[in-house]
Amino acid sequence: MEARLRTQRPRPPTPTSRPRGGPRAPRPHAPPPTHSVPTRGAAAGSKGPGRRRRLSHERGRPDVGPAPPPPASLGALHTAPPRPSPLRGCTPHPSPPRTALAGGGRRLPTQKEAVQIKKQAEPGAPRFCLLRGTHRPRSCSRWSWEHKIWRTVSRDRLKFLSLKMGTLLLWLLFICEARSHAVPTPNFVLLMADDLGIGDPGCYGNKTLRTPNIDRLARGGVKLTQHLAASPLCTPSRAAFMTGRYPIRSGMASRSQVGVFIFSASSGGLPHSEITFAKLLKNQGYSTALIGKWHLGTSCRSSTDLCHHPLSHGFDYFHGLPMTNLRDCKPGAGSVFTRALRLLVFTPLQVIAITLLTLAMLRCLGLVQVPRCVFFCLSFLAALVLGTLLCFLHYFRPLNCFLMRNRDITQQPMSYDNLTQRLTADAAQFIQRNAKTPFLLVLAFLHMHTALFSSKDFAGKSKHGAYGDAAEEMDWSVGQILDVLDELKLANNTLVYFSSDQGAHVEEVTVKGEGHGGSNGIYKGGKANNWEGGIRVPGILRWPGVIQAGLEIDEPTSNMDIFPTVAKLAGSPLPEDRIIDGRDLMPLLQGRSHRSDHEFLFHYCNFYLNAVRWHPQNRTSLERQ
């Protein structure tokens, strides 16, 4: 190979091999070496005195330091025949080799390469060697691998790599910026009152009922002035709140006049096929709890299967009333079955009594021969009806008014003594247990549903009788939850929602004439009807740093909107196999949108459609500070 390379004629360099900015010149031949092969250490180019530093003008590399001084004399060189190089495949190369081109041809080295070869041919310089299978000159020094890299990587490839690295850097910056502006995953505290009117809280205009903690919540968050319940009754409204769907879609809209669950022996309830926000958040790693009123059914085929229990719908913990609070649950508070008893009991008893008296008179006058067995049967029937009434009134309270913790009954019948304090303390303990993990807490108050009750600390303290006492005790409970969030420094990472399942029951009056219903403000109607007073409820949301404080929004919203809002904030996708009637509230709450996504809202009373609310698309909201 060496002989063949020596006999080839020099050719002028190609345009690609011309040094940048310099003239074309013929390839000079380096003179043959006039010295013998250096010693083994010098030939290796690693630690011997013949090693030379790379210069700054070579290969465009920066200067790495002055070259070592040449040997003092040639005495260190011996005249023995050349030894094989310790580097594999390397032999002394006295003449300039031809360099391989990218296309497969060969060319003579450039002028810069020739100068380098000439300098390396001087005494004391490291040898050049040919790698096997190539015709590239290679330095046998420790910098040889850098020569190969800088020879093979072209300027275009460097530009391409720079472009890729720049694109990757831009993507990383974009992801970091997006994460810095992304809404963090919050905790959720959902406070649901029962039969609280929109005219009851002070932040909605009440000047005589003291609700400082609800007002504090409104000052620190957003107040919705057109917040609407999906139904004016407890059970369907709570089903819509949990699922984000109209109750008629989930089968929770009754065709009869009684649209709620009253008896624990009822076999109905929220279907297993329905997805609650508790199920979605539980799948996202949240700890979930429901404390207070459930009222969406308990069992299916037996009293022990508890297929409609809160634990079957995504909640990890439950403590409260599986049914509802009724006047029949509190001794001396009356009964909600008065009208039914008059129709089903007193009327038959009156008919039986009149029949007995008439037959007795006719028999005494001798006008009719009445067998004694007729009197016996009628008397037995009357006793049976009366006994059924007495058994119902006696056993209703223990069979339907009881407290449960998870699947166990803890109090039967339940006692109203400090009941709000007990449930509030349990809610606070749940927050403390899960302070370091994301959690969902639904605190469903038993206030303001009748029977009204309050502890000794609040009884007789308000200006509105028993209703005002219960409202102020509920406000105290709201304050306790807010204080726990502040103490644990969770307020800035917790979305708090406060509302009611429907409007106030303004028709609720005791046998003594005392009104036990709340105020719906300027709106007509109340619970159990679709007038504005029955479905317009308070709506307050607070999330410091994310939701603007002290804002009022006059756009129509629904309690069904909590489902998609909570799901999106928790990072859970919405179910795609069903229609979700709720809409995400965050664009409206954060000011990114000035119009509600609801164009139509349908108002049902049980199974029957009573009204439709139309929100024109060209209408924008009125926001007030």
pLDDT at 32 over 60: no
Q: What percent of the chain has pLDDT over 70?
A: 71
Q: pTM above the 0.75 mark? A: no
How would you label 515-549 residue by residue, b for 16+ Cβ within 10 Å and e otherwise?
Answer: bbbbbbbebebbbbbbbbbbbbbbbbbbbeebbee
**Cα–Cα distance between 516 and 464 in angstroms, integer?**
9
- Right CATH for 333-400 from 1.10.287.550, 3.40.50.12780, 2.30.38.10, 3.30.1280.10: 1.10.287.550
pLDDT at 78 over 60: no
pLDDT tens, 440-488?
999 999 999 999 999 999 999 999 999 999 999 999 999 999 999 999 9
Average pLDDT over residues 168-188: 69
**Cα–Cα distance between 52 and 143 in angstroms, integer?**
10
How high is the pLDDT of residue 171? 73
pLDDT at 392 over 60: yes
Catalytic residue, chosen from 93, 227, 295, 449, is 295
Catalytic residue, chosen from 234, 329, 401, 605, is 234
How high is the pLDDT of residue 301? 85
Other CB atoms within a 10 A radius of the CB of residue 575 amount to: 17
Domain covering 187-326+401-624, topology:
Alkaline Phosphatase, subunit A (3.40.720)
Instruction: List where CATH 3.40.720.10 sits in the chain.
Output: 187-326+401-624
- Is 364 one of the annotated active-site residues of the chain? no
The answer to whether the beta carbons of residues 516 and 504 sit under 8 Å apart is: no
Residues forming beta bridges with residue 291, ordered by sequence position: 319, 443
**Cα–Cα distance between 534 and 526 in angstroms, integer?**
4
- Model confidence at 389, pLDDT cuts 50, 70, 90, reads confident
How high is the pLDDT of residue 368? 80
For residue 527, give the amino acid letter.
K
- Model confidence at 375, pLDDT cuts 50, 70, 90, reads confident
The answer to whether the beta carbons of residues 419 and 411 sit under 8 Å apart is: no
pLDDT tens, 405-447?
999 999 999 999 999 999 999 999 999 999 999 999 999 999 9
Instruction: List where CATH 1.10.287.550 sits in the chain.
Output: 333-400
Average pLDDT over residues 132-150: 47
pLDDT at 159 over 70: no
Average pLDDT over residues 39-48: 42
Q: What is the mean pLDDT of the chain?
A: 81
- The residue with tokens 């164009």 is 599
pLDDT at 135 over 50: no
pLDDT tens, 223-244?
999 999 999 999 999 999 999 9
Residue 433 dihedral angles phi and psi, to the nearest 5°: -70, -30
- Is 447 one of the annotated active-site residues of the chain? no
The answer to whether the beta carbons of residues 401 and 329 sit under 8 Å apart is: yes
